[in-house]
Amino acid sequence: MNFVSIIMGSKSDYEIMKNCAETLEQFNVQYEMIISSAHRSPERTKTYVKEAEEKGAIVFIAAAGMAAHLAGALASATTKPVIGVPMKGGAMDGMDAMLSTVQMPSGMPVATVALGKAGAINAAYLAIQILAITDKELAIKLKEDRIVKSKAVEVDSKTIEV
């Protein structure tokens, strides 16, 4: 079974990352969500990536804050696409996590999305777009979603017309 794997560094990341899971659900995309840390449970993280790949993980989404090495650790353990979601919080309110996630050495990419809720949602969209390369039904759903979003802008605009 093909699925998207979501890994969070801490339970404290869940409030934001549930938006990622909900977006995948809206598109009927199968996913698995676990907590595992690059620092607090490195062996669990490494073992999980291997097992998830064997079970059919197609894309990995990694969310972490502060010294956010989780996405990078995943990228070192798999050749599947890794999407990194930096979490807000800590003394630098996410700037540290953003730079830790995005600044990967060449040959080891992490597709880094925005901080916070928008990033969590966009990580799901990016994963869906990757799956849609070979899934026509999903590609159609993405196009329909764009139409809905575009119409919503027009409706919103009408509500403020004076």
- Known binding residues for substrate: 10, 13, 40
Query: Binding string to ligand RP5 for residues 17 to 56, with x set by CB under 6 A, is what?
Result: --------------------x-------------------
Nearest to residue 6, comparing CAs of 26, 27, 30? 30
Structure tokens at 157: 């605009």
The footprint of ligand RP5 on this chain (CB under 6 A) covers a number of residues equal to 10
* Interaction of residue 13 with ligand RP5, rule CB under 6 A: yes
One character per residue 60-99, x = contact with ligand RP5 (rule: CB under 6 A): ----xxx--------------------x-x----------
Q: Which two tokens stand for residue 16?
A: 């934001």
Q: Find the Cα–Cα–Cα–Cα dihedral 51, 41, 7, 70, rounded to 10°.
A: -110
CB nearer to ligand RP5: pick between 9 and 84: 9
Q: Which of 29, 47, 46, 88 is nearest to 64 (CA)?
A: 88
